[in-house]
Amino acid sequence: MSNRQDEGLSAFARRMHASGTNLEQHTPNSIFSRIPGSEIPQHKIKHSAKVTVVGVGNVGMACAQTMLSAGLLNELALVDVLEDRLQGELLDLQHSAAFLPRVKIVADTDYGVSADSDICIVTAGARQREGESRIDLLDRNVNLFKKIIPELVRHSPDTILLIVSNPVDILAYVSWKLSGLPPNRVIGSGTNLDSSRLRSLLADKFEVSALNVHGYIIGEHGDNSVPLWSSLSVANVPVLNFHDKKGVQYNKETLEEFHKAVVKSAYEVIRLKGYTSWAIGFSVASIVKSLLRDQMHVHPVSVLANSFYGIDYDVFLSLPAQLGSAGVLGIANLPITEDEAQRLQNSAKILRGMLDKSKMQ
- Rg, Å, the chain Cα set: 20
221 is catalytic: yes
Backbone φ and ψ for 162, nearest 5 degrees, come out as -120, 110
CB 351 within 8 A of CB 169: yes
Rounded distance between C-alpha atoms, residue 112 and residue 137, angstroms: 28
DSSP class of residue 347 equals: H
Residue-wise pLDDT for 307-360, tens only, equals 999 999 999 999 999 999 999 999 999 999 999 999 999 999 999 998 888 766
Is 58 annotated for ligand binding? yes
Is 165 annotated for ligand binding? yes
Q: Of the candidates 173, 79, 65, 80, which has an alpha carbon nearest to the alpha carbon of residue 117? A: 79
What's the pTM? Answer: 0.89
Is 141 annotated for ligand binding? yes
Residue 10 confidence (pLDDT)? 46
Is 56 annotated for ligand binding? yes
Residue-wise pLDDT for 265-314, tens only, equals 888 888 899 888 999 999 999 999 999 999 999 999 999 999 999 999 99
High-pLDDT (> 90) share of the chain, % = 66
Residue 27 confidence (pLDDT)? 45
Backbone φ and ψ for 328, nearest 5 degrees, come out as -85, 110
CB 301 within 8 A of CB 190: yes
Q: Furthest-apart CA pair in the chain: how many Å?
A: 63
Instruction: Give me the catalytic one of 26, 155, 221, 299.
Output: 221
Neighbours of 339 (CB within 10 A): 15
> Mean pLDDT across the chain, nearest whole number?
88
**DSSP for 93-126, written as a single string:** HHTTGGGS-S-EEEEESSGGGGTT-SEEEE---P
